[in-house]
């Protein structure tokens, strides 16, 4: 999955960018205060995208 598609999915489900790091962007779900780092690669493995969505407690892409 492309990183920009994953970020679009997160933002569609009300997750917001908490901070930018050098290797990761950290997104937070304000509804439950869960955080998840998103790696800075053009492609994010599907199993990692699923793991991130589960961590943030949003529907899978």
Taking residues 25-37, report their average pLDDT: 97
How far, in Å, CA of 24 to CA of 18, rounded?
Answer: 11
Q: Considering the domain 3-56 in this protein, what is its CATH number?
A: 3.30.920
How far, in Å, CA of 22 to CA of 37, rounded?
Answer: 11
pLDDT digits (tens, 9 = 90+) for 1-12: 999 999 999 999
Q: Is the pTM of this model over 0.85?
A: yes
Taking residues 12-27, report their average pLDDT: 96
How far, in Å, CA of 37 to CA of 45, rounded?
Answer: 14
Give the pair of three-digit tokens for residue 55: 């961590």
| pLDDT band at residue 29 under the 50/70/90 scheme | very high
């Amino acid at each position: 999955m492309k990183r920009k598609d994953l970020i679009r999915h997160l933002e569609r489900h009300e997750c917001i960018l908490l901070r930018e790091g050098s290797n990761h962007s950290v997104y937070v779900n304000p509804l439950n205060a869960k955080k998840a780092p998103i790696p800075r690669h053009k492609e994010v493995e599907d199993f990692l995208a699923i793991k991130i969505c589960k961590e943030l407690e949003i529907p899978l892409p």
